[in-house]
């Protein structure tokens, strides 16, 4: 489960590292909210949940989005909305937070094109290009 969470967190950081126009701003805001919601679980869940977006990631996101279709961008906006709805993490029970967070990315996997995923992966942090649907 820890390896899966690390993978999900890496995808999150790559996508969430965005912030410079529409989708990127939404995702950066969602990431920052998720970091705050995860704060009570600092010793319980993977440290990757506690990394906020950087300016470099903002630029990488903008570059990566150049190769994403409108439907890909819509999927990224949906991801941001989903992340914003994740419940606050509780140190006594982190599962609702972790499960809701995972569901956001599972939903993205069914919507994001391989081209967009690969573009973001090559221009940002580690994002498995296989974390997208085949078209």
As beta bridge partners, residue 90 has: 93
pLDDT digits (tens, 9 = 90+) for 61-105: 878 888 899 999 999 999 999 999 999 999 899 999 989 988 998
pLDDT in the model for residue 3? 43
What are the extents of the domains in the chain? 2-123
pLDDT at 113 over 70: yes
pLDDT in the model for residue 21? 56
pLDDT digits (tens, 9 = 90+) for 2-61: 444 444 444 444 544 443 457 888 888 888 899 899 888 877 776 666 778 777 886 788
pLDDT in the model for residue 13? 46
> Is 68:9 a contact under the CB 8 Å cutoff?
no
Question: Which residue would you say has higher pLDDT here, 132 or 87?
Answer: 87
Q: How many angstroms separate the CA atoms of 85 and 96, rounded? A: 12
Question: Which residue would you say has higher pLDDT here, 131 or 43?
Answer: 43
Q: How many angstroms separate the CA atoms of 20 and 91, rounded? A: 33
């Amino acid at each position: 489960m820890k390896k899966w969470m690390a993978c999900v967190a890496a995808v999150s950081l790559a996508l969430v590292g965005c912030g410079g126009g529409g989708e990127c701003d939404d995702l950066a805001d969602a990431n920052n909210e998720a970091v705050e919601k995860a704060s009570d679980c600092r010793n319980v869940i993977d440290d990757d949940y506690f990394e906020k977006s950087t300016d470099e990631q903002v630029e990488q996101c903008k570059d990566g989005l150049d190769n994403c279709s409108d439907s890909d961008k819509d999927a990224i906006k949906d991801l941001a909305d989903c992340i914003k709805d994740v419940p606050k993490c509780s140190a006594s029970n982190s599962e609702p937070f972790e499960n809701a967070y995972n569901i956001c990315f599972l939903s993205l996997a069914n919507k994001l094109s391989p081209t967009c995923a690969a573009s973001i992966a090559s221009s940002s942090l580690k994002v498995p290009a296989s974390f997208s649907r085949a078209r």
